[in-house]
Amino acid sequence: MISLLILAVTAVASSRAVFAFFHDPEGPNLIVVIGLAAFIYLLCLVFYLSNAVRMLTSLRRLLFAIFIQIIGAIGFYLIMR
């Protein structure tokens, strides 16, 4: 349960980081940041709950899911740039 909360917080942080690199004078829209955070969270949740990753220990599985979030955020930044 705590690991899912950690994944949600890191999804919001990585989504906010994506939009922080864009030079928008008004700043990022909160709805867009939350939408991207939800998409990043669902993306990592698929990997976190899959059977292939379940064989890892809980800490390694959490770190793998955070790594997937970071890679996904970098990918979204490169696509939207």
26 band by pLDDT with thresholds 50, 70 and 90: confident
- Tell me the C-alpha distance between 22 and 71, whole Å: 18
Q: How buried is residue 31: exposed, middle or buried, by Cβ count under 10 Å (0-12/13-18/19+)?
A: exposed
Selection from 14, 13, 8 nearest residue 70 by Cα: 14
Q: What is the pTM of this model?
A: 0.86
33-48 per-position pLDDT tens digit: 999 999 999 999 888 8
Selection from 48, 44, 21, 45 nearest residue 33 by Cα: 21
Question: Is the predicted pLDDT of residue 21 greater than 80, yes or no?
Answer: yes
- What are the boundaries of each domain within the chain? 2-80
